[in-house]
């Protein structure tokens, strides 16, 4: 009670001023029909703008949940597509009848942490062994663009090596004509990767789409990586070199898709054994 009395003592001038202003506004509004109509018009506009602003704030706050729902929906549709592909193969008779996928091909996930300012960058994701995730599964953006490949996995989390890693080389190809090359981030600009070792006589145009060729096992064949932004001229080279602008913006990425590449470890282990035997 003492604090309340003290507050009134300190603020009574401001309180009296506010009360007087309210009385003055009330008297003005009721002084004529014109003043009343004008006040109503102003109040409607003010509350209308306030309502719009509050709605936009609410939409912004719910944006994260909406993005997660959209990502989950995309995953459901991707799994349906894969099921239809297998059913189509069954109908064609190349697989035993009634064979259906035992596990989901895609999983929605959220990024826990992500770096883009190091020579080798990694992404921590909130899915692990208990969710069916395995090493060498691909990480894609919600739009299906190449992001990274899982290198470590625990029960509830996994770590993926980002496409923004100088130690990661990906086989890529021009979607327009199938010419193959190597995708490699050289550091620096986090939106640009180098596309090298392309046939010297391959036809390349600015804006051509570059996709994963699938030979390096990091991404499913045909996954979009980016678009040709610059063709580096060097007549002495026996191959062509291009700059590719990545489709996935890794600096703002929050929700991702884990694309399960079941059986890929068998191929990877076989290739590693071959390298050891050759050595």
More confident residue, 65 or 260: 260
**Per the domain annotation, does 116 fall within a domain?**
yes
Structural tokens at position 13: 């001038």
**Per the domain annotation, does 74 fall within a domain?**
no
Q: Which of 4-13, 90-99, 135-144, 172-181 is predicted with the least confidence, judged by mean pLDDT?
A: 90-99
**Per the domain annotation, does 73 fall within a domain?**
no
Residues 123 and 37 in one domain: no
Residues 181 and 110 in one domain: yes
Residues 118 and 241 in one domain: yes
The CATH number of residue 130's host domain is: 2.40.10.340
Nearest Cα neighbor of 220 from 121, 82, 87 is 82
Confidence of residue 66 (pLDDT cuts 50, 70, 90): low
Residues 253 and 147 in one domain: yes
**Tell me, what's the pLDDT at 59?**
55
pLDDT in tens, 185-235: 999 999 999 999 998 888 999 999 999 987 777 888 888 999 999 998 777
The total of structural domains in the chain comes to 2
**Tell me, what's the pLDDT at 195?**
95
Residues 133 and 229 in one domain: yes
Expressed as residue numbers, the domain containing 8 is: 2-61
Residues 162 and 257 in one domain: yes
More confident residue, 212 or 98: 212
**Tell me, what's the pLDDT at 53?**
65
Residues 19 and 155 in one domain: no
Residues 159 and 247 in one domain: yes
**Per the domain annotation, does 68 fall within a domain?**
no
Residues 46 and 136 in one domain: no
Residues 56 and 164 in one domain: no
**Per the domain annotation, does 80 fall within a domain?**
no
More confident residue, 162 or 82: 162
pLDDT in tens, 136-160: 899 998 888 999 999 999 999 999 9
Percent of the chain with pLDDT over 70: 64
Residues 44 and 177 in one domain: no
**Per the domain annotation, does 81 fall within a domain?**
no
148 near 158, Cβ under 8 Å? no
140 near 147, Cβ under 8 Å? yes
Residues 110 and 208 in one domain: yes
**Per the domain annotation, does 273 fall within a domain?**
no
Q: What is the pTM of this model?
A: 0.62
The beta-strand segments (E) located in 157-208 are 158-165, 169-174, 180-184, 192-199
């Amino acid at each position: 009670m003492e604090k309340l009395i003290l507050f009134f003592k300190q603020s009574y001038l401001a309180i009296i001023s506010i009360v007087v202003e309210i009385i003055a506004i009330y008297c003005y509004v009721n002084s004529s029909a014109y003043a009343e109509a004008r006040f109503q018009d102003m109040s409607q506009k003010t509350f209308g703008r306030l309502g719009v602003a509050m709605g936009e704030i609410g939409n912004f706050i719910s944006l994260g949940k909406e993005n997660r729902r959209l990502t989950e929906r995309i995953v459901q549709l991707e799994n349906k597509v894969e099921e239809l592909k297998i059913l189509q193969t069954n109908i064609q008779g190349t697989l035993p009848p009634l064979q259906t996928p035992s596990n989901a091909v895609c999983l929605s996930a959220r990024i826990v942490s992500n770096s883009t300012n190091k020579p080798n960058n990694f992404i921590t994701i909130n899915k692990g062994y208990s969710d069916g995730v395995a090493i060498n599964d691909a990480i894609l953006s919600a739009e299906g663009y190449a992001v990274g490949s899982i290198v470590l996995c625990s029960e509830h989390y996994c770590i993926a090596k980002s496409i923004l890693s100088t130690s990661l080389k990906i086989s890529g190809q021009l979607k327009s004509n199938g010419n193959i090359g190597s995708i490699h981030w050289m550091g620096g600009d986090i939106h640009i990767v180098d596309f090298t070792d392309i046939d010297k006589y391959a036809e390349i145009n600015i804006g051509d789409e570059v996709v994963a060729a699938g030979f390096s096992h990091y991404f499913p064949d045909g996954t979009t990586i980016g678009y040709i932004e610059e063709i580096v001229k060097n007549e002495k080279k026996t191959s062509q070199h291009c700059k590719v602008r990545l489709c996935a913006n890794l600096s703002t990425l929050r929700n991702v898709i884990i694309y399960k590449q079941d059986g890929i470890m068998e191929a990877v282990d076989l290739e590693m054994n071959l390298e050891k035997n050759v050595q």
